Amino acid sequence: MLAAPRFIALAALGAAVFLLGVWQPRLLAVGAAYNLALASALAADYLLSRRRRSEFVAVRREVGDPLSLGASNVVSIRLHNRSRAPVRLIAKDQPPPALDHDARPFHMLLQPGEAAIARYHITPRAKGDYQFGDIGLRVYSPVGLFLQQIMFPAGQRVRVYPDLTAVARYDLLARRGRLLEAGIRASRYRGRGTEFESLRLYLPDDDSRHINWKATARRHEVITSQFQSERSQNVLLVLDAGRMMAGRVGGLAAAESFPEAAGEREMTKLDYAVNAALMSAYVASAMGDRVGLLAFAQEVHAYVPPRPGRRQVFRILEQLYRLEPQFVEPDYDDAFRYLALRQRRRSLVIVFTDLVDPDSSEELLKHVGALHPHHLVLCCTLADPDLLASAHSLPQESGEVYGKAVALGLLADRHSALAYLRHRGVHLVDAPADQLTTETINRYLELKSRSLV
């Protein structure tokens, strides 16, 4: 039991009366009577609290499993007063200490039979398994002189997956035809693919080779065939999990288009790449393509052969959930040899990695460039916002001048590496972390609509 603020105030008043009795002896009798009454009230309050049923309050936690990386996930604490008297209490959950959260003590007054919900948010910054603790309650006694402390067993293990809220939001916006709200420029280039879509009247600018002569004979007017991008193509997501992807970039203050919430702590470059890869897998699967995965560092950590269907997205998700950056130099030769042996069919290969300069990234540039022309290659890298800010800043002191010079040099080296890839026929996405997902999806849709695979 803990003393309630009410009891502490009343006991302090009784002590003050005794102190005054030093100068006014008649107050000693008043103080004794007062404190005796307070002790009697405390005893009665204790007896009343003992009459409560053992489970006069029901408590349970509701939290999604898995949680979404980098997104704000709601945790709900449901409380129900099962007694016939009002209950005043303080509820406190024990979320995993490694996760960002805004959990706090919740003060509630529940009338007889009343139920209430206390909510807070939790934002994971790393994938993995985490453990919730028990839920603690401090329940005021009927008179309010003390607090009864109760711990409800509520230990719960949860998993943190790549951002699943992005998938749900994309699906919702796609059904409503409002993908532009998420930054997705979904466009279809009719007439540029080779898969038949529909018929319409011939227009002067149409290719005469697309005239459908059978339909023209039936309709007695010139009819042309329209085509769309082919479905069931291969899309292979390749993730570099080496040391360059272990660096942390941008807090979530400028939240990505898909996640609903923002935070302050940073995620690794690989975390952002994983979120972008998961969304790319989902979109490509929805477009009818076969999607696969290759993740590597010093060795290949995961390989999922390309397959169609939504179930394939969950197979990829299970592999991405376990993927963590390694503080080692990646073996590009082994990884791309592994890819070449298992993926002979022409595919769109989306490589998530990081570049510094042509010298330090020599192995990466050589192997990524060698994928073309057998495969169509899209290389996705994360631009460093701090480096860009330093390069475009207006120096005020001598130290800032040197800092800007270094930043400009690093950017020049990076642009040189990107230019090399572009010269080798590799398509590029170089975007800040908070825009990597949308830029990757937009580029994928563009390449598919142009039938380049």
Residue 438 CA to residue 188 CA, distance in Å, equals 17
For residue 322, the model assigns a pLDDT of 82
Q: Do 367 and 270 have their domain in common?
A: yes
Residue 277 CA to residue 266 CA, distance in Å, equals 19
Q: Do 379 and 237 have their domain in common?
A: yes
Largest CA distance in the chain: 121
Note if the bond before 153 is cis, omega within 30 degrees.
no
Q: How many domains does the chain have?
A: 3
Q: Do 237 and 293 have their domain in common?
A: yes
Q: Do 44 and 144 have their domain in common?
A: yes
Got the DSSP string for 14-58? HHHHHHHTTT-THHHHHHHHHHHHHHHHHHHHHHHHHTS-TTSEE
Residue 420: what residue type?
A: Y
Q: Do 139 and 154 have their domain in common?
A: yes
Residue 199, CA distances (Å) to 121, 207, 229, 230, 425 in order? 52, 13, 16, 17, 35
Q: Do 256 and 150 have their domain in common?
A: no
For residue 257, the model assigns a pLDDT of 38
- Identify the CATH number of the domain in which residue 10 sits: 2.60.40.10
Say if strands 100-101 and 146-152 run parallel, antiparallel, or are unpaired. unpaired
∠ CA 245-258-294, nearest 5°, is: 40
pLDDT along the chain (453 residues), means of 10: 79 80 77 82 79 79 86 92 89 91 92 93 87 92 83 91 75 61 55 59 75 86 72 89 84 39 63 91 90 95 93 91 89 92 91 80 85 90 79 76 79 86 91 88 86 70
The pTM (predicted TM-score) of the whole model is 0.69
For residue 175, the model assigns a pLDDT of 59
Q: Do 260 and 334 have their domain in common?
A: yes
Q: Are 300 and 334 in contact (CB under 8 A)?
A: yes
How would you class 210 by CB atoms within 10 Å of its CB: exposed for 0-12, middle for 13-18, buried for 19 or more? middle
Q: Do 238 and 224 have their domain in common?
A: no
Range of the domain at 101: 1-161
Q: Do 256 and 142 have their domain in common?
A: no
Nearest partner of 108 among 134, 153, 75, 77, judged by Cα: 77
Q: Do 210 and 304 have their domain in common?
A: no
Helix (H) or strand (E) holding 136: strand 135-140
